[in-house]
Amino acid sequence: MKLENFTITEIQQKLKEKEFSAIELCNWYLEKIKKEDEKIQAFITLTEDLAKKQAKKIDHLIQKGEKLPSLAGVPCAIKDNILLEGTKTTAGSFILQDYLAPFDATVVKKLKNAGAVILGKTNLDEFAMGSSTEYSAFFPTKNPLDLTKVPGGSSGGSAAAVSANFCSFALGSDTGGSVRQPASFCAIVGLKPTYGRVSRFGLIAFASSLDQIGPMTKTVQDCEIVFDTIKGKDELDSTTVEVQEPIFNFSLKNLILGIPKEYLIEGIEKEVEKKFFEVVKFFEKKGAKILEISLPHTKYALSCYYIVAPAEASSNLARYDLLKYGKKEKIESHSLDDFYLKAREKNFGKEVKRRIILGTFVLSVGYFEEFYQRAQKVRKKIAEDFEKAFEKVHLILTPTSPTLPFSFGERMKNPVQMYLSDIFTVSSNLAGLPAISIPIEKKPIGFQLIAPPFHEKILFETGKIYERNNE
Amino acid sequence: MFTEKELKKLASLSKLKIDPKEIEKFQKEISQILSYVQKLKEVETQDKEMLYFSWLKERKREDLPKDLFPKKDLKTYFLEQKNDFLKTKKIL
């Protein structure tokens, strides 16, 4: 049996036509991972038994001729900061090395109910803090398109797993670009939904006013299918909302795309710029109107992000003390305080420590107004820039990342260098907007579409037109 | 530039210990980040409010106990247990 790089829709079709069974498909993927993941290292944990059990359940439904749920038999992977009951969930950190998730995250529950076959948990930068997976406590993941390059991050394991065809789709989390930037680096599709659209119950919190879970897929169509499965209000996450999806008559001829002049900055690589303008030309040729717009506070977005995100992280990560859960480790200490210091010093990586200290600093007396409060006010200005822009345009079109995938170690020396990787993606987290990254010509270069809140459907419709015409 | 004393104070507030060999590096890196974010001072923010998402209005629900997920299972995954208790390290 030869199994190719199937999309979700193709898998569903072939299962129904009995071209292969769900268990055959599941085994084929597991074998492939066992054989090839040694060189890519996308996975931290394989959930073989769970996957086989789920696949057999789907085969049983097929045999009985029952109606199949939307992701029946589709093999997927989950970023290792999302809880999967009874399975190790490390968040890429030594401090959670032995942590067994006591329940399913809401998104995982929804995937299971939709019949998806979960193959394993994928690598990430520790607590999702990073843009390359080099900050994973365990090992860096390699980019399947070029093993000497990083896959991006922090959802680098998920991006690599989809790109290497170790699964049909994966879930990632995006706080400042952690779904979209690795999607761009690995030539796949990645979506950060509107803040409040997808439940974060069971996502290990990094920066709670920015975090969203999003699908990472091979096509825009698949992205839509996964998004439709995981979205929705959840009693267990009070930030989720039930929304009436905006109704629109979609046609490229009526579509106005805005290109922010502030995004075409110095430092953007020539190849990225060139490919991006080919995409602009494509949409123009198809009848969309292209308009230059201004988002004047763009140059402050990264500064704003690197105050807000560490501040929230310093508070969210205060709970890891090695007393309640996480890891069995004997630590000699003479007081409770001494225990905390030793446990956290030993088990947190450098980037996590940097951010905790920075976050503590910007929240401390005397600096709160100067840094944190100011950043939150600038954040409001950034959001207002978008509101104004969306009075004139339907969507905003930008590159996803200013560069092609970089080499290992290249950006480890200076943290600000690593942060610059997120320069085009952080703004939509700060403003809570939905944004999608779509690969250009299967190259590790993505373009990004940003929409007003809850307009994910326009992202999909526009993306699908690009995809259909560039296969 | 961040002084060594400031860094140590922050580390202790954050319940972190910094390896003495790494202090200088941390000082340098955190100062780099802080000097990068200084840019925000250029923005006029006096009349501004802090951001909140307009679609997340203040929503309260009644404070009633609900069985939203099975608490009995939580115990199963705790690192150590004794009788009906969860066991942690001795802390005093």
> Looking at residue A408, what is its pLDDT?
96
Q: Return the residue of B nearest to A88 by Cα.
A: B77
Query: Distances in Å between the alpha carbon of A257 and those of A79, A367, A391, A398?
Result: 32, 40, 12, 10
For testing the chain A interface, which of B2, B33, B46 should be mutated: the one with the most A CBs within 10 Å?
A: B33
A79 is catalytic: yes
> Looking at residue A118, what is its pLDDT?
98
Query: What's the whole-number mean pLDDT along residues A129-136?
Result: 97
CA distance B15 to chain A (A): 5
Chain A residues whose CB is inside 8 A of the B80 CB are 328
A163 is catalytic: no
**B21 interface with A at CB cutoff 8 Å:** no
Contacts of A265 (CB under 8 A, 6+ apart): A402, A423
pLDDT bracket for residue A5 (50, 70, 90): confident
Query: Distances in Å between the alpha carbon of B65 and those of A451, B6, B10, B56, B61?
Result: 38, 45, 39, 23, 11
Query: What's the whole-number mean pLDDT along residues A279-289?
Result: 97
Q: Return the residue of B nearest to A412 by Cα.
A: B29
CA distance B84 to chain A (A): 16
Residue A28 pLDDT greater than 70, yes or no: yes
Burial class (CB in 10 A: 0-12, 13-18, 19+), A79: buried
A178 is catalytic: yes
Residue B68 pLDDT greater than 80, yes or no: no
Q: Return the residue of B nearest to A375 by Cα.
A: B40
pLDDT bracket for residue A45 (50, 70, 90): very high
Chain B residues whose CB is inside 8 A of the A103 CB are 69-70, 73-74
CA distance B44 to chain A (A): 9
> Looking at residue B67, what is its pLDDT?
77
> Looking at residue B91, what is its pLDDT?
67
pLDDT bracket for residue B71 (50, 70, 90): low
> Looking at residue A1, what is its pLDDT?
46
Interface list for B 28-87 with A (CB within 8 A):
29-30, 32-34, 36-43, 45, 48-51, 53, 55-56, 59, 61, 66, 68-70, 73-74, 76-80
Give the nearest partner residue to A303 out of B19, B26, B36, using CB atoms: B36
Q: How many CA atoms lie within 13 A of A24 on its CB side?
A: 11
Specify the higher pLDDT residue, A8 or A330: A8
Count of C-beta atoms within a 10 Å radius of residue A115: 22
Specify the higher pLDDT residue, A418 or B11: B11
CA distance A64 to chain B (A): 31
CA distance B83 to chain A (A): 17
pLDDT tens-digit readout, A263-277:
987 779 999 999 999
Average pLDDT, chain B: 82
Answer yes or no: do B73 and A103 touch at CB < 8 A: yes
Q: Return the residue of A nearest to B26 by Cα.
A: A354
Instruction: Quickly list H helices, A215-329.
Output: 220-230, 270-285, 301-316
Answer yes or no: do A344 and B15 touch at CB < 8 A: yes
Chain A residues whose CB is inside 8 A of the B74 CB are 102-103
Chain A residues whose CB is inside 8 A of the B29 CB are 354, 414-415
pLDDT tens-digit readout, A189-224:
999 999 999 999 999 999 999 999 999 999 999 999
pLDDT tens-digit readout, A218-247:
999 999 999 999 999 998 998 999 888 877
> Looking at residue A147, what is its pLDDT?
98
CA distance A365 to chain B (A): 12
pLDDT tens-digit readout, A143-188:
999 999 999 999 999 999 999 999 999 999 999 999 999 999 999 9
Which of A184, A240, A242 lies closest to A404 in space, CA to CA? A184
Residue A127 pLDDT greater than 90, yes or no: yes
Q: Return the residue of A nearest to B23 by Cα.
A: A354
Which of A387, A367, A381, A267 lies closest to A310 in space, CA to CA? A367
A195/A172 Cα distance (integer angstroms): 15
pLDDT tens-digit readout, A310-367:
999 999 999 998 887 888 888 888 888 899 999 999 999 999 999 999 999 999 988 9
Cα torsion through A336, A338, A343, A344, rounded to 10: 110
Chain A residues whose CB is inside 8 A of the B61 CB are 238
Chain A residues whose CB is inside 8 A of the B14 CB are 314, 356-357, 360
Which of A145, A171, A176 lies closest to A379 in space, CA to CA? A176
Average pLDDT, chain A: 94
Distance of CA A27 to the CA centre of its chain: 26
Candidates A79, A109, A192, A231; catalytic one: A79
pLDDT tens-digit readout, A46-89:
999 999 999 999 999 999 999 999 999 999 999 999 999 999 99
Q: Which of A168-177, A216-225, A401-410, B67-76 has the lowest mean pLDDT?
A: B67-76
Q: Which of A110-114, A288-292, A361-365, A449-453 has the lowest mean pLDDT?
A: A361-365
Helix axis angle for A48-63 and A22-40, nearest 10°, is: 160
Percent of chain A with pLDDT over 70: 99
Chain B residues whose CB is inside 8 A of the A380 CB are 48-51
Candidates A21, A131, A132, A154; catalytic one: A154
**A390 interface with B at CB cutoff 8 Å:** no
